[in-house]
Amino acid sequence: MSEIAYQNKDIASKVFAEKFRDFSLNVYGINLPKIVEVLPTNLPEISANELRIDNLFLLEDGRIAIIDYESTYKKGNHLKYLGYAYRVLERYFGEDKIDIELVMIVIYTADVTRNEVMSSFNAGMVTITEVSAFLSELKSDEISKRLDTKMKSGEDLTDEEIMEFIILPLSYKKDQQKKAIEDTINMAKRIKNEDTMVFVLSGILVFSDKVIDDEFSKKTKEWIAMTKVGRLFAEEAEQKARIADAKRLVKMTEAVASSDSISIENACIKAGITFDEYNEAKALLDSAAILA
């Protein structure tokens, strides 16, 4: 299996993004429109000591939802959310959108209760208001038993139950989370519908990224990769990597040819590649363009 399949949750993130459209966050106590698109979180100006935004969603009403997961409450987190808002505005302001409305959603794991949290921070000219969800209010054991019963009977899961499955490990307190993650993932492997199983496993990995054990995460990704759906996404990830390399090679060679006013053949020599390698890269890009 190629190493690219395990980089940064590639397969899990890809499956999650592709399948998460049209799902709702209502099951977590967040009354917002459905998700219509999962947006990339590789935004500008991320400091080396700063965590990346956990999730970024485009909602049905056109608003952009920033989601962060917290296992503790700190007033200073509002400054972090302000930074998230700035980078999202910087990224999307002007891209066919003059007015952008953001929603800051904070999902607190079971170690945080509602009475600990101040959901609004006012600094005069700037006010940060969050929409809070408290997983401590979910009935974790009851949900787990109900899902387990469905696994045993082979029944299909509803959309709400799929969302419960994904967030279930974080609804347990910190000292129980590792076992809850492993138990939930092992239970999810028994889902009959392979597409749903892979989506649930991917969602658990994406949502539990901050707390999941690296070794167990890797094993789960390997399990996903062994399924038909997982293999397809792994192959797609590998193909995207090959195309990215081909683009780089072709762009570099043609830039040398243009700047030095020389033939492509001579530019290949100067760039340290063979003419055949250039032609193979060019053919790959042409075929990718035809299939797109």
- Does residue 105 belong to any structural domain of this protein? yes
* Same domain as 65, residue 161: no
By DSSP bridging, strand 64-70 and strand 55-59 are antiparallel
Q: How far is CA 99 from the centre of its chain?
A: 25
d(C-alpha 246, C-alpha 55), whole Å: 30
* Same domain as 45, residue 82: yes
pLDDT at 286 over 60: yes
Close Cβ partners of 68 (under 8 Å, ≥ 6 residues apart): 53, 54, 77, 80, 81, 84, 104, 105, 106, 107
| pLDDT at 112 (0 to 100) | 92
- pLDDT per position as a tens digit, 61-116: 889 999 888 888 998 899 899 988 888 888 777 555 557 889 999 999 899 999 99
* Same domain as 61, residue 50: yes
pTM of the model: 0.66
Instruction: Quote the number of domains for the chain.
Output: 3
- pLDDT per position as a tens digit, 21-39: 777 888 888 888 888 887 7
* Same domain as 242, residue 214: no
| pLDDT at 219 (0 to 100) | 75
pLDDT at 189 over 70: yes
Paired with 65 in beta bridges are 57, 103
Q: How far is CA 176 from the centre of its chain?
A: 24
* CA-based R_g, the chain, Å: 22
* Same domain as 111, residue 78: yes
Q: Which of 74, 109, 137 is the last residue of a domain?
A: 137
* Same domain as 259, residue 192: no
